[in-house]
Amino acid sequence: MKIASIETFILRAPREQAYWATTGHLREEAQDEFFRDYSIAYPLRMRTQPHYTQDLTTLLVKITTDEGLVGWGESKAVVAPGAPKAIIEDVVKPNLIGLNPLDIAPIKEKLLGLMRIRGHIQGYYQDAISGVEIALWDIKGKYAGLPISSLLGGAFRDQIRIYASGLPGLPAVWNDADIARLVGLARKVVDSGFKAVKIAIGAGIEPDLRSVDIVRETVGDSYAILVDAGGIYDFQTALRLAGELERRGVFWFEAPLPMEDLAGYIELSQRVTIPVANDILWTGGLIKDVFQRGGRVIFLPEVLKAGGILECKQIADMADRFGLPFASHVSQGSYIQFAATAHVCAAVPNFLISEFWWQDNPLGNQILKNPLIVKDGYMEVPSGPGLGVEVDEEAIRPFIAG
């Protein structure tokens, strides 16, 4: 069996609600006050605020074999979906056509080698590889007649615990309307059946803690509350905030520091008892270095960014050897990524919880022939061959933008 064709589809869809990071945490009227208070802080907020678009964008990858088997994958494609598309078309495709799609590990190594001195560790190249690798696993599962989780060694569970993500916290300067909005969204999370929720913080210690208090009052004591600061704080601020979050029973403190500050993550994880999580570093070699230096960090690799399914499984196994749990990161994209994520989470013994974007997703079950089942804070692991879900090509047609 050989790879006969590789196709890519940029999908673009409007959001029902703006993504929390599209405009940052600061209102225009709060800018002067903010920079007056934080002008000597490191890092400056303008250096740590990522860029997102208002629309939902992703890149689907379709690989077809000479025997007619079709595999689907997905690449991270935020802001510039043409970047991973160009990499697949110009670099990946010419080097994969004619190869055996079952040889996933050798193919992955070949692709890494092609760009080893050109930013192969993170970024658009890894995004591109991820989508291709997921599609190859889909083919391998269909060829074997088994779900991907079985090919990874077997499933420890048939459903995975998920938390509702994307709940925007209060801005640096807030009013009653902001509080009402946060309460309303938290109530929607409860009504949707979730038992855990993550708040996007990073506006400052006072608004962050107020956000946690408001959500706790709304959802009750039985709920798990997680927070994500987006890598925006300096060490001393993160240390102080971690203590306050711990006293409030917060489940974990995600991305408190910039991704470059590995020493800071190691020290912070050693000095606080609240779990410190990191979703902005997903290179296995660097993660291993953090573990070996005594860092007790819960790393949150994402299948669309880390290089695919096998890399995430290997990171989970490495964390297990160091006595740490594994949790997965999932952000904007289609439900292909959720299916791929579910198989990884099912196949590792140290799985803790996975992210889930609970708000309406036009690229969700609407583009699948067989829907993912999400109920009462859990997602069922697809049991069919490969990913266990099939893309409805007619359903994606209205969203194709390139």
Q: Is residue 49 part of a domain?
A: no
- The enclosing domain of 316 has a CATH number of 3.20.20.120
Q: Is residue 350 part of a domain?
A: yes
Does the global pTM surpass 0.85?
yes
Q: Is residue 145 part of a domain?
A: no
Whether 30 shows a pLDDT value over 90: the answer reads no
List the helix and strand counts (H, then E) for the chain: 14, 13
Q: Is residue 261 part of a domain?
A: yes
Q: Is residue 30 part of a domain?
A: no
- The domain in which residue 237 lies consists of 151-393
179-188 contacts, C-beta under 8 A, 24 or more apart: 179/214, 182/211, 182/214, 182/215, 182/218, 183/214, 183/218, 186/214, 186/215, 186/218, 186/219, 187/218
Q: Is residue 103 part of a domain?
A: no
**Given pLDDT bands bounded at 50, 70 and 90, which one contains residue 77?**
confident
**Number of domains, the chain:** 1
Q: Is residue 86 part of a domain?
A: no
Q: Is residue 37 part of a domain?
A: no
**pLDDT per residue as tens digits for the range 163-222:** 999 899 999 999 999 999 999 999 999 999 999 999 999 999 999 999 999 999 999 999
